[in-house]
Amino acid sequence: MSRPPEVFVPEDMIAFYKELLGITPDEGTVRAAPPGPEEKKQWEAGVPLLLVAPPSVDTAAFFALLRRVADAAVKHNPGLAQDVTQVLEALPADPVEQEMFVASVLSREGTRLEQLVRDAHLSPETLGFLVNHALKPIMRAYAQEAAGWCNTEEWQRGICPVCGGRPSLAILEKEVGRRYLYCGLCETRWRYKRIGCPFCETEAPDGQEFFTLEGNDKYRIYVCSTCRGYLKTIDERRAGEEEIDLFWEDIGTVHLDILAMREGYVNRSLEPV
């Protein structure tokens, strides 16, 4: 079990995320086969594994996960009850439509969700939250399989090699300061060049600008003057001997997101690719 951060995240939020972490798919919900030579080539050319060798996901199990996430959301945030009920009522009930819904969620294709928001007048944030947190344990299971199939040291791109998501965090490795990016959805960690912005891929010299928090140089925020994106970064060399858990670091550094956005930078990890 991972360790919650010591930074200032409210207790009830930690309890909520702990409960979400406990929502995991049953054995057999996510089935994935290793990519063949042709798929491997596409992956090497930069197409995320999810698109070249997608897993098959049990439809009923996905909706069961979604309902568990919904229950947890209401339990920890009673104010969301009405929004959550609206979302649950608007979800497709017909098995064929349910299957199509899961397929569109898996392919990270947003139009079906946008349509649902419009048709049923849903809160886009609530729908997005529930769907993402039902998808997350599925992607985590898929990424665990995928780790054996593709070498994430070689990928070197700004998007996640497994699910195609944008990085929510970076880490500067202890030994030689190599940089790794971290995907907040499937929790894959992959190598990226030391200099440059993973969102717009610019290598402008001022793309390396960063600021730190007073009194805590374990964390840096790299900012990009080209796309105005920012990247929360953990400097492992300044983290002492403590073991770093990127899931909790991502949640525990929400104050860095707030800081960066207050400075006019944009959270590009949330944008569709």
Q: In this complex, which beta carbon is closest to Zn ion, that of residue 68 or of residue 140?
A: 140
37 vs 14: CA distance, rounded Å: 43
- Nearer residue to Zn ion within complex by CB, 123 or 144: 144
CB of 214 to Zn ion, least distance (A): 25
The nearest distance, CB 83 to Zn ion, in angstroms, is: 27
Could you give the CA distance from residue 107 to residue 38 in angstroms, rounded to a whole number? 19
Asked if residues 13 and 73 have their Cβ atoms less than 8 Å apart, the reply is no
Nearer to Zn ion, 4 or 165 (CB): 165
Tokens of 123: 């809160």
Q: Nearer Cβ to Zn ion, position 258 or 273?
A: 273
Residue 233 near residue 269 (C-beta atoms within 8 A) = no
In three-state secondary structure terms, 102 is helix
Q: Quote the least distance from Cβ 142 to Zn ion, whole Å.
A: 9
Q: Closest approach of Cβ 221 to Zn ion, in Å?
A: 13
Beta strands in the chain (DSSP E): 30-31, 56-57, 167-172, 179-183, 189-192, 210-213, 216-223, 230-235
Which residues in this chain contact Zn ion in the complex, by CB under 5 A? 160, 162-163, 165, 183, 185-186, 188, 197, 199-200, 224, 226-227, 229
